[in-house]
Structure 1
Amino acid sequence: MQTFEIKTHRSGRTYTKPHFFILNKGLNSGKPMTDPCPNCFVVSTETTEQKEALFHLSMMLLESKCYRIYLKGSVIPFIYIDDVRKLLKNNEKYLNKGDFKTKLDTLKKVEALELLFQNKLKATKELKSVLLRSFKLER
């Protein structure tokens, strides 16, 4: 069983252990992030491997809309820290399964491929813009 600690993030605080952040306000509550924002929790682990596994577990919970049923509030929805802790602890048992590690490796490859495509799309848009501006049109 892995151990992790989840706390409310305070601006300006630095962390020495491997960590990531989980958004706690808005419709994207539960979204794992590498950089902090004012409305987030920090999840600290003992090792980088645990951090990566919990980060992707949180992403899976977000994609499967598991956080949605815990949203409170009518104007700005938010999620309690205990609900996030409970969801992560209840689903932590799947991290030790062998197929999780293979799926995690495959997911990392897909994310790298997605980043490559995003960079290619950005370069293509820039090329299109340069080509369109290269025409000498009268004003």
Structure 2
Amino acid sequence: MKTPKIYTYSPKNQKSEFDLYALSKGLNSGKPLDTPCPNCFVISCRNTEELDQYRTILFGLWKAKSFHQFFVGSVIPFIRINDFKNLVFEQMAHLQEKQKAYQQDVKKFKALEQNERAMYEQLLLISELKRIYISRHLKR
């Protein structure tokens, strides 16, 4: 697999449908994002499969707090782009040895993510229903 281009986000740059974003400042540095923000890196992938693989590896690295060892800055911690690239590419190279098993886990991860989204939407609906049931009996 070829390595994707990783660079700092700028609103002036053109966006692609296969771009993945990762937070670059704060305690959540490295967190994968679907939409860009001013303090993020762009991982420009070639296709959906590659995008899913990088999103999954970023999520795993972020949850394991792997980026914390590279934090710099005294008030607002941030990660340098070279440290970010090195860690991501090192992990992807390590995963190339177990490519088939990793791809299966990426599919499972994606299915769990969809289930999580559906549950979250159901919780929002339940919360709204609870509010409606009580508020219709209150005096206006």
Give the 3-state SS of the residue equivalent to 2:25 in structure 1. Answer: coil
1:1-139 to 2 correspondences below 5 Å:
1-16=1-16, 18-93=18-93, 94-95=95-96, 97-137=99-139
Q: Is the 8 A contact 2:52 2:106 kept in 1?
A: no
Write out per-residue CA displacement over residues 8-67 of structure 1, whole angstroms, 9 at most, x where no aligned residue. 111232234621111100000001111110011111122221121111111111011100
Query: How big is the alpha-carbon RMSD for the aligned residues of Structure 1 and Structure 2?
Result: 1.6
Deviates more, 1:43-52 or 1:22-31: 43-52
Write out per-residue CA displacement over residues 52-84 of structure 1, whole angstroms, 9 at most, x where no aligned residue. 111111111101110011011110000000011
* Structure 2 alignment gaps of length 5 or more: none
Give the 3-state SS of the residue equivalent to 1:120 in structure 2. Answer: helix
Quote the Cα distance in structure 1 between the aligned partners of 2:75 and 2:114: 36
Q: Is the 8 A contact 1:17 1:46 kept in 2?
A: no
**Aligned AA (1:81):** I
Q: TM-score, normalised by structure 1?
A: 0.92
Q: Is the 8 A contact 1:17 1:44 kept in 2?
A: no
* Structure 1 alignment gaps of length 5 or more: none
Give the 3-state SS of the residue equivalent to 1:101 in structure 2. Answer: helix
Q: Percent of counterpart pairs with the same letter? A: 31
